[in-house]
Structure 1
Amino acid sequence: MNESEKNPFKKPTSADVARLVGISQSTVSLVLNGKAEGRVSAELQQAIWEAARSLNYKPNRAAKALREGRARTLALVIPQLSNPFFAPVYQGADREARKLGYDTVLVNYDHSMSTQEALIEHLSSHDVDGYVLWDISARSTGLLSQNNVVLVESQIDGYHSIMVDIPHGVRMALQHLVGLGHTRIAHLAATVDTETFQARSRTYREFFEEQGWTYRPEWEVRAPFSLEGGKQGALALLGSSEERPTAIMCDGDFLAVGVYKAAKELGLRIPEDLSVIGIDNLELSQYIEPELTTLHIPAEQMGECAAQELIQLLEAQPTARKVVWFQTELIQRNSTAAPQQ
């Protein structure tokens, strides 16, 4: 009986693995640390890994980090932790990082420039190997090396980026509404001054021009990215115009839920009196009535990809700037319909 079997609360060690296989601990260490190539036979390596699995052996990350002179920790830096969009982002990034032997810490910031810069300066003094920075400014990234940063939803010269083709998705959403017969389409925009949100507004205006429509500034209202912001923004859209919009495209599902609240207060039915379309495809979009038509953004896959790209940067020679693109998908549910005549 080995020591782990005698005491089930004792964490298995490489010495336990060595005893089980009947070899030296140094040979086990070569295999478990990935240094066995050409030094330990394939058969013996397999036997060592099988023994490690049977004992539920987990390598000591702290010791490995000390040997390598690295913390083996990534920082996922995101805005607005209250936004449920970021839960699957973190899950994807953390799962991929753990596969590759890294931990992930989650760091929240607001979109103000001073907060971003203070946060980056603070993080750079801590034991973090690399950063996934979501929707961050060029000035803030200048405080960090290009060799340990991956950007998400922003493109800056010299940095790896993970991007979503938001303009294509917004056009799909607007074309869906036009296909239903809508021409009075409003935009509930978030008061977030970053590239991904600027792209939503820019594409909305370009689409109006492409359709030969006159842009109506009163049909584009900016609101805080929150449930209450969505409600107040919708009340402004639906109450201030002589010609009420028949459809609203929202910058996020969070805002769309607020629109539902405003519509109820105004006695408007969705989708009979007002069509609503969101962006993100949050889980809650399937749990409101009627279920929300929305653009799916692959949040979890983006988190996985960001962690992969960052770890590759950390463990390999720096490569040329790379941009990975993700596409959106229109999820048609029950919140959009033809306008009433």
Structure 2
Amino acid sequence: MTGSTRPTSRDVARAAGVSQATVSLVLGGKWPGRVSERTAAAVREAAGELGYRPNLAARNLRLGRTRTALLVVPALTNEYFARIYTGAARVAAEHGFGVVLYPSPEGVGPARDPFGSARAAIDGVIASSMAADALAGIGDGLPLVMLDSDPDAPGGAPTVNLAVADGIRQVARHLLALGHRRFVHLAGEVDAWTFRVRASAVAAELDRVPGAVLLHTERSALEVAAARDAVLRALARPGPRPTALLCDDDILAAGACKALRGLGLAVPGELSVSGFDDLSLATAMDPELTTVRLPAEEVGAAGMTALLALLGGVPAPGGELPVRLVPRASTGPAPR
């Protein structure tokens, strides 16, 4: 290109060695299932090198699209959801989309439609199951992808899930291998699929090991202070003391460690503590926290990819994303 001539889609097609129709599919976000990832990457690279910018306003008016997705999460204060947004925004940008991040008020209840008319302002929604109640206030009928949600729910939307049952099993097996047989499960007090799966997986894993006992399931809000109080309640119950606290997330584990420190109990010498999520908090604690690493950015990216597939009229990809146990110093051999 020379001078001030504005590059066209024909120039992009010529540079990428594809048809103009292919350029339109890729830059219009309709390529999944129709064009290979390699070809799509070549088109995006050619467009970038030429400085090509499609006339989005004209195209959106013609197609009735805003090229905007809404990501609904319980709260902005949790690092996990911030990382989900990062992954979703990255994939969206690759396809000329924007992502609006919207927290459900206090994580519960219907949210006020942030646009006045969501249908007129966004093309689709990606929502955490923990903020599902908010969807009632945002409008029905929009393309929807759910994160951490029951894939077998009747008439449900496409889901992007983590292998949470496998993750909690990895933690339980790690503690069992260290000789622990008396457990307390510090469970998130949230009525969401992901926490129900964790509870059932903990019970099933301990049931299969002779001598292993789930002494109590103590529920707590996802807050340090609430978790501290829940652990104090659990340890005040009559009967033998647990040797391991298996926590549904890292924030609960932080509250558990605070309670044990206040009681003068050593971690992990007298009680081992595990978390779930692998937030930055996990390595800020002393001792550092054994936890399960969740690929949060991949969750966001997969959610956006699934929504783009829906918008393109092709089946959304499914399956679970794997998770990985990260053993650290907060777990050790069971005390004699």
Q: Report TM bin, short chain.
A: 0.7 to 0.9
Is 1:261 aligned to residue 241 of structure 2?
A: no
Q: Give how far 1:70 is off.
A: 0.8
Correspondence for 1:317 among 291, 300, 313: 313
Q: What's the offset of the Cα at 1:207?
A: 2.2
Counterpart CA distance in 2 for 1:198 and 1:38 is: 44
The residue that corresponds to 1:129 in the other structure is 123
Q: Closer, same or farther in 2 for the Cα pair 1:98/1:50, shift >3 Å?
A: closer
AA of the residue aligned to 2:326? I
- Whether contact under 8 Å (2:184, 2:217) holds in the other structure is yes
Question: Take 1:299 and 1:332, find their aligned partners in 2: how far apart are those partners?
Answer: 19
CA-to-partner distance for each residue in 1:204-229, whole Å, 9 max, x for gaps? 22223222457555x21000011212
Partner of 2:8: 28
What is residue 203 of structure 1 aligned with on the other side?
201
- Which has the higher mean CA deviation after the structures are superposed, 321-330 or 275-284? 321-330
266, 270, 288: which one pairs with 2:285? 288
Q: CA shift at 1:159, angstroms?
A: 2.2
Aligned residues: 306
Separation in 2, partners of 1:163, 1:94:
18
For 2:221 and 2:47, the matched residues in 1 are separated by 55
Alignment of 1:43-54 (within 5 A): 53=49
From the superposition, tell whether residues 18 and 66 of structure 1 become closer, same or farther in structure 2 (CA, over 3 Å).
farther
* Aligned partners of 1:237 and 1:245 also within 8 Å: no
Task: Supply the distance in 2 between the matched residues of 1:90 and 1:52 (Cα, whole angstroms).
Answer: 24
Establish whether residue 94 from structure 1 lines up as the match of residue 89 from structure 2: yes
What is the rounded CA distance, in whole Å, between the counterparts of 2:212 and 2:58 in structure 1? 65
Partner of 1:170: 168
Amino acid at match of 1:178: L
1:78 touches 1:107 (CA, 8 Å); kept in 2?
yes
The question of 1:272 aligning with 2:256 is answered no
TM-score, normalising length from structure 1?
A: 0.79
Structure 1: which amino acid aligns with 2:8?
A: V
How high is the TM-score relative to the length of structure 2? 0.80
The AA in structure 2 aligned to 1:169 is G
SS in 1 for 2:276: strand
Structure 2 CA distance for partners of 1:123 and 1:206, relative to 1, 3 Å: farther
Residue pairs, 1:20-169, within 5 angstroms: 20-21=4-5, 25=6, 28=8, 30-31=10-11, 36=20, 53=49, 59=54, 61-109=56-104, 110=106, 112=108, 114-115=109-110, 124-135=118-129, 137=132, 144-145=140-141, 148-154=143-149, 155=151, 156=153, 157-169=155-167
**8 Å Cα contact 2:253/2:274 also seen in 1:** yes
Question: How much has 1:66 moved relative to structure 2?
Answer: 2.9
CA spacing shift, 1:127–1:19, aligned 2, 3 Å:
same
Any idea what SS the aligned residue of 2:140 has? Answer: coil
**Which aligned pairs between 1:291-302 and structure 2 lie closer than 5 A?**
291-302=288-299
| C-alpha RMSD over aligned residues | 3.2
Of 220, 238, 248, which aligns to 1:223?
220
Query: Hey, what does 1:189 align to over in structure 2?
Result: 187
Partner Cα separation in structure 1 for residue 235 and residue 122 of structure 2: 48
Matches of 2:123 and 2:292, distance apart in 1: 34
From the superposition, tell whether residues 31 and 78 of structure 1 become closer, same or farther in structure 2 (CA, over 3 Å): farther
SS for the counterpart of 2:79 is: coil
1:78-125: per-residue Cα shift (whole Å, max 9, x none)? 11322221111110101110111000001111554x426x66996644
The letter for the 1-side match of 2:60 is A
Within 5 Å, give how 1:326-337 maps onto structure 2.
326-337=321-332
Q: 2:47, 2:330 → 1: CA distance? A: 56
Percent identity of equivalent pairs? 30
Structure 2: gaps of 5 or more residues: 24-41
| Structure (1 or 2) with the larger CA radius of gyration | 1
Residues 164 and 327 in structure 1, CA contact (< 8 A), matched pair in contact too:
yes
CA deviations on 1:265-311 (whole Å, 9 max, x unpaired) are: 11111111111111111122112111110011111111111111111
What is the CA–CA distance in structure 1 between the aligned matches of 2:219 and 2:113, rounded to whole Å? Answer: 27
Judge which range, 170-179 or 235-244, deviates more: 235-244
Contact 1:170 1:204 in 2 (8 A): yes
Tell me, what secondary structure is at the counterpart of 2:200?
helix
Query: How big is the shift at 1:183?
Result: 0.6
**In structure 2, distance between residues paired with 1:194 and 1:51:** 43
Q: CA deviation at 1:140?
A: 5.4
Task: Identify if the C-alpha distance between structure 1 residues 52 and 171 changes in structure 2 by more than 3 Å, giving closer, same or farther.
Answer: closer
